[in-house]
């Protein structure tokens, strides 16, 4: 089966600009996650969707970050305006459901550099 | 916050078994132990998970102590392609989040 797709793979912007990332999860996966991974650290969850509803966005900096999954399939994560500290890899993952035994499958990530 | 403790780095000779330890002394009865790895410039890759019993799949074996306060991931015959950061994660049965720590950077040496 096809894996989690993300685009673009790399993005370089200047601070205060806007940027958007796209994710297409594995077909049939109800749950979609966005993670931020700063260099040298493990991934940190930003937001979690089940179908088109938000399950957890407690770690999302809502003053500048937004995400949507309108049709319950693919998703977009946006940063507006970007700050230097937003430089990181943004990972998308999906799983079949929410149960604790459900495995998350990750995409390759989008590496964002904010200058 | 991550509920696990792992050594920051380890080396292993190619062809030998790599044993990666993880402490999760505060684990509760309904929490699973997951292992993921992340090869440079790629997303994390699922390896294995377990609750109480030892588990084995085509990639690795997971040994969980009887008190469940620690576990060991075993790569039976390490290859150069196993060089990666390995994350040990505990997750509630009904929970959502994976809390990744900083993991163990495993280097397989020729």
**In B, which residues are within 8 Å of A93 by CB distance?**
43-44
pLDDT at B26 > cutoff 80: yes
Judge: A105–B32 Cβ closer than 8 Å, yes or no: no
- pLDDT at site B99: 80
pLDDT of residue B84: 97
pLDDT of residue B41: 86
Range B54-70 average pLDDT: 95
Best residue in A31, A37, A44, A100 for a mutation probing chain B (most B CBs within 10 Å): A100
* Beta pairing class for B9-13 and B104-109: parallel
Q: Please list every residue in chain B whose beta carbon sits closer than 8 Å to the beta carbon of residue A42.
A: 2, 87, 100-103
Q: Hey, are the CB atoms on B44 and A45 less than 8 Å from each other?
A: no
Kindly determine whether residue B97 and residue A56, on different chains, have CB atoms separated by under 8 Å. yes
Give the percent of chain A with pLDDT over 70. Answer: 96
Sign of the torsion formed by the C-alpha atoms of A107, B47, A27 and B30: negative
Lowest-confidence region among A13-17, A50-54, B33-37, B67-71: A50-54
B93/A48 touch (CB, cutoff 8 Å), yes or no: no
Could you tell me the two tokens for A47?
A: 């937001």
Residue B100 in tokens: 């990744």
Q: What is the pLDDT of residue A10?
A: 97
- The mean pLDDT value for A44-55 works out to 90
Q: At CB < 8 A and 24+ separation, what contacts does B46-54 make? A: B46/A103, B46/A104, B46/A105, B47/B73, B47/B86, B48/B73, B49/A101, B49/A103
């Amino acid at each position: 089966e096809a894996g989690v797709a993300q685009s673009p793979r790399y993005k370089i912007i200047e601070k205060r600009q806007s940027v958007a990332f796209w994710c297409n999860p594995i077909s049939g996966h109800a749950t979609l996650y966005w993670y931020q991974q700063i260099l040298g650290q493990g991934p940190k969850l930003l937001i979690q969707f089940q179908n088109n509803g938000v399950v957890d966005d407690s770690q999302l900096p809502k003053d500048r970050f937004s995400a949507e999954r309108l049709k319950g399939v693919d998703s977009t994560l946006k940063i507006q305006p970007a700050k230097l500290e937003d430089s990181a890899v943004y990972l998308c993952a999906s799983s079949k459901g929410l149960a604790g035994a459900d495995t998350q499958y990750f995409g390759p990530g989008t590496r964002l550099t904010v200058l | 916050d991550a509920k696990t403790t792992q050594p920051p780095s380890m080396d292993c000779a190619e062809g030998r078994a790599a044993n990666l330890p993880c402490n999760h002394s505060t684990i509760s009865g309904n929490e699973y132990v997951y292992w993921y790895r992340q090869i440079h410039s790629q997303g994390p890759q699922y390896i294995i998970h377990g609750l109480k019993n030892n588990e084995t799949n085509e990639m690795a074996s997971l040994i969980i102590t009887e008190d469940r306060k620690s576990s060991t991931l075993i790569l039976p015959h390490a290859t150069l392609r196993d060089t990666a950061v390995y994350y040990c994660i505990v997750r509630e049965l009904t929970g959502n989040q994976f809390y990744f720590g900083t993991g163990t950077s495993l280097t397989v040496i020729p």
